[in-house]
Amino acid sequence: MLKEKPQQPVSFFQQVYDLVRIIPPGYVMSYGQIAQLLGHPRASRLVGWAMHRCPSQIPWYRVIKKTGELPLSNSLFPLSDQRRLLEQEGVSFLTSGLVDMKKHQYKLEEIDL
């Protein structure tokens, strides 16, 4: 009998990347939301780290904080660029400078990787 070796579950990070990849233009998702979808309701920081690593070409700028704030600016991922990219996709910002989450948060019920 071949004991079917459980096909190694895709790493958490990989799942994060796969999920981020399917966010349609004009929408955003929060770190906590992604973590929850992947079965780790409180591992938002983990998602943050996954995005920090960001090995793949993925729409990283579509992942923001739950509050609608853009995460953080650094030389690699300039905040101004992130805002510009989102605006180009039609994401509207409130006067406070936050993304209008009510409009643009991508609600995904189930993962289908």
Partner DNA sequence: AGTATGACATAGC
Partner DNA sequence: AGCTATGCCATAC
Binding site for DNA (CB under 7 A): 11-14, 30-33, 40, 42-49, 51-54, 60-61, 63, 65-67, 71-72, 77
Closest separation between CB of residue 33 and DNA, Å? 7
Question: Residue 50, class by beta-carbon neighbours within 10 Å (0-12 exposed, 13-18 middle, 19+ buried)?
Answer: buried
Closest separation between CB of residue 92 and DNA, Å? 19
Nearer Cβ to DNA (1/52): 52
Report the C-alpha gap between 77 and 24 in whole angstroms.
Answer: 20
Closest separation between CB of residue 59 and DNA, Å? 9
Nearer Cβ to DNA (26/83): 83
- Compute the Cα dihedral for 16, 21, 22, 23 and give only its sign: positive
